[in-house]
């Protein structure tokens, strides 16, 4: 079910990892950001938009992880965008139809049959110097960085004062570092948090990729919490982050993720 979080901005949360799809209403239709994970949920989202008399005129993927690259035929054939780097990574990782089978192996087995894969990753990269999403609606500013995944972008819906953070600033998930590249995942993450902190004064509503929507007070608190986590990883310090513990929703996955991140950083030296 769609939930309004600001004037002309709505969210739809999936049962899978509390993933948030974002709908931004424009003059001729809506911008749909990270539209969801499970096919039946995407159909419900499409039905909700139809009841509102809205069609999808543009899509955007915040970064090149499978759960943010999905689409459903019910959303139509609107252009789907990502940053230039995001699109390049998608082309590299999904070069042919066989790649979708490899992606399917990454999806939890209890939901894989419910995830629509036909339109996975069919995004167009925006030119590298693009700062606004090209569409007929509110100005949506692109804040690109290198944390979590190559070509990751947060979005600032300027006159609605909403930050769509992608896979950062979650109240339920710890920061997940991108340890696959040659860059420094710690410094990349800290730099990205600095960029998000730089727009915090313009934001009243925070929508993370996973977890709860927050207000301006939550935005700075989550930046501080993520910075403390990443700094503790860097410095080898003890950690008291409640998100690292086992939970009913995620079981032992988060403690295991934290342990793997510590191990990866140790191996990188």
Note the residue count of the chain. 269
**Paired strand residues for 95:** none
Question: pLDDT band for position 256 (50/70/90)?
Answer: very high
Question: pLDDT band for position 181 (50/70/90)?
Answer: low
Average pLDDT in the 173-185 region? Answer: 87
Q: Evaluate if residue 56 carries a pLDDT over 80.
A: yes
pLDDT one-digit tens code per residue, 69-86: 999 999 999 999 999 999
Average pLDDT in the 176-200 region? Answer: 91
Whole-number Å distance between alpha carbons of 251 and 263: 20
189: tokens are 């993450």
Q: What is the pTM of this model?
A: 0.96
Record: fold of 3-268 = Metallo-beta-lactamase; Chain A (3.60.15)
Position 267 scores a pLDDT of 85
200: tokens are 């915090």
92: tokens are 């590299």
Position 117 scores a pLDDT of 94
Q: How far is CA 161 from CA 20, 42, 201, 226, in A?
A: 17, 26, 9, 22
Using a pLDDT cut of 70, give the percent of the chain over it: 99
Question: pLDDT band for position 248 (50/70/90)?
Answer: confident
The dihedral region occupied by 125, where left means phi > 0, alpha psi between -120 and 50, and beta the remainder, is beta
pLDDT one-digit tens code per residue, 141-151: 999 999 999 99
pLDDT one-digit tens code per residue, 58-117: 999 999 999 999 999 999 999 999 999 999 999 999 988 888 899 999 999 999 999 999
85: tokens are 């780097």
Which runs of consecutive H residues, i.e. helices, occur in the chain?
39-51, 84-93, 98-104, 185-199, 216-235, 253-268
Q: Which candidate, 205, 201, 223, 222, places its Cα nearest to that of 214?
A: 205
Chain centre distance of CA 129: 21
179: tokens are 């340890």
Position 182 scores a pLDDT of 67
Q: Evaluate if residue 29 carries a pLDDT over 70.
A: yes
Q: Which candidate, 36, 88, 86, places its Cα nearest to that of 63?
A: 86
Domain boundaries, the chain: 3-268
Q: Evaluate if residue 269 carries a pLDDT over 80.
A: no
| Secondary structure (DSSP) of 130-145 | --B--SSSS-EEEEEE
- Interaxial angle between packed helices 216-235 and 185-199, expressed in degrees from 0 to 180 and rounded to the nearest 10: 160
Position 39 scores a pLDDT of 97
């Amino acid at each position: 079910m769609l939930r309004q979080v600001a004037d002309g901005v709505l969210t739809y949360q999936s049962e899978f990892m509390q993933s948030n799809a974002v709908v931004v209403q424009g003059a001729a239709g809506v911008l749909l950001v990270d539209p969801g994970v499970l096919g039946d949920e995407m159909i419900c989202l499409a039905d909700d938009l139809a009841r509102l008399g809205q069609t999808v005129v543009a899509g955007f993927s915040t970064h090149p992880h499978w759960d943010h690259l999905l689409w459903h035929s019910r959303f139509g054939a609107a252009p789907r965008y990502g940053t230039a780097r995001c699109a390049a990574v998608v082309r590299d990782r999904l070069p042919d139809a066989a790649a979708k089978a490899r992606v399917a192996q990454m999806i939890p087995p209890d939901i894989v049959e419910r995830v629509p894969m036909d339109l996975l990753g069919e995004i167009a990269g925006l030119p590298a110097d693009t700062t606004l999403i090209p569409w007929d609606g509110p100005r949506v500013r692109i804040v690109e960085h290198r944390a979590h995944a190559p070509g990751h972008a947060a979005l600032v819906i300027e006159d609605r004062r909403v930050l769509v953070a992608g896979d950062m600033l979650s109240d339920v998930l710890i920061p997940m570092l991108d340890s696959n590249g040659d860059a420094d995942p710690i410094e990349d993450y800290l730099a990205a948090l600095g960029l998000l902190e730089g727009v915090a004064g313009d934001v009243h509503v925070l929508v993370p990729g996973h977890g709860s929507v927050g207000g301006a007070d939550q935005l700075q608190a989550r930046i501080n919490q993520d910075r403390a986590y990443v700094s503790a990883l860097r410095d080898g310090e003890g950690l008291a982050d409640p998100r690292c513990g086992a939970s009913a929703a995620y079981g032992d996955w988060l403690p295991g993720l934290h342990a793997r991140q510590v191990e990866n950083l140790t191996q990188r030296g």
